[in-house]
Amino acid sequence: MKTTDLPLALKFLRKTIKLWRVPVVTVISYHRNPFMVLVSCLLSLRTRDEITEAASKRLFALAHSPKKLLHLDPEIVEGLIYPVSFYRKKTLTLYEICRSIIAENKGKVPDSLDKLLSLKGVGRKTANLTLVLGYNKPGICVDVHVHRIMNRWGYIQTKSPDESEIALRQKLPKRYWMEINNLLVSFGQNICKPQSPYCSKCKISKYCDKNGITRHR
């Protein structure tokens, strides 16, 4: 994909995304609660959206702040978030994060990338998404969809999401940073799938280099 083609591709995706299901963490961000964004993002790791959505609703019905979560018994939290992937490990991580937030940040989720990354279990994807959706601050959230699609398009050439974030911070115009994850997650879930993407249905196929695609529909 040529640099000059990117605005055209993103313009089309902004229109098309309205036809697709909104990613669950984005929906949760409508509550304007950074803690809920952070937690739902952690729950979503290696977990399908519909499972994350149900687990988040159960948990937030009882605890939508660090203090309230710490008042719950760990076994209750495990039951609430099951069957998200690694639910027992994620429960332990949630308690450690809540303790850190209360002890080191007066109960408020940090609003800087470095401080978010200092929390146990919080990687760059989660930290950036919390900044973007929780605080409306600039960040580039690069998950497997963003990494895969940007490389398929030929916009960047990287081997991991972390490398993709670095490359995009250098190349992607800042005006696109905050929306890129939401656009490409929806696009990746519906059209540009990991295996056998729907190239025949893709309206921006003409801009794509189709790097790494060996089979498509």
Amino acid 102 reads I
How many percent of the chain have pLDDT more than 70?
100
Give the three-state DSSP class for 214: coil
User: What pLDDT shows up at residue 128?
Assistant: 96
User: What pLDDT shows up at residue 43?
Assistant: 97
Q: What digits encode the pLDDT tens for the residues 66-80? A: 999 999 999 999 999
d(CA 35, CA 28): 10
d(CA 101, CA 175): 30
Residues 93-119 as b/e (b if ≥16 CB within 10 A, e otherwise) read bbbebbebbeeeeeeebbeebebbeeb
User: What pLDDT shows up at residue 171?
Assistant: 97
d(CA 88, CA 76): 11
User: What pLDDT shows up at residue 122?
Assistant: 96
Is pTM beyond 0.85? Reply is yes
Domain 31-135 has CATH 1.10.260.40: no
User: What pLDDT shows up at residue 40?
Assistant: 97
CB distance 76 to 94 below 8 Å: no
DSSP string for 160-180 = SHHHHHHHHHHHS-GGGHHHH
d(CA 68, CA 167): 39
Low-confidence ranges of the chain (pLDDT < 50): none
User: What pLDDT shows up at residue 167?
Assistant: 98
Amino acid 140 reads I
User: What pLDDT shows up at residue 213?
Assistant: 93
d(CA 186, CA 18): 10
CB distance 98 to 150 below 8 Å: no
User: What pLDDT shows up at residue 64?
Assistant: 95
Q: What digits encode the pLDDT tens for the residues 83-122? A: 999 999 999 999 999 999 999 999 999 999 999 999 999 9
CB distance 144 to 151 below 8 Å: no
Assign domain 3-21+140-207 to its CATH architecture.
Orthogonal Bundle (1.10)
User: What stretch of H or E contains 63?
Assistant: none
User: What pLDDT shows up at residue 49?
Assistant: 92
At 54, phi and psi to the nearest 5? Answer: -65, -45
Handedness of CA 63, 69, 72, 73 (dihedral sign): positive
User: What pLDDT shows up at residue 107?
Assistant: 95
Kindly list the domain boundaries of the chain, sorted by start residue. 3-21+140-207, 31-135
User: What pLDDT shows up at residue 186?
Assistant: 94
In the numeric block, which tokens belong to residue 181? 């994850």
Handedness of CA 110, 112, 172, 123 (dihedral sign): negative
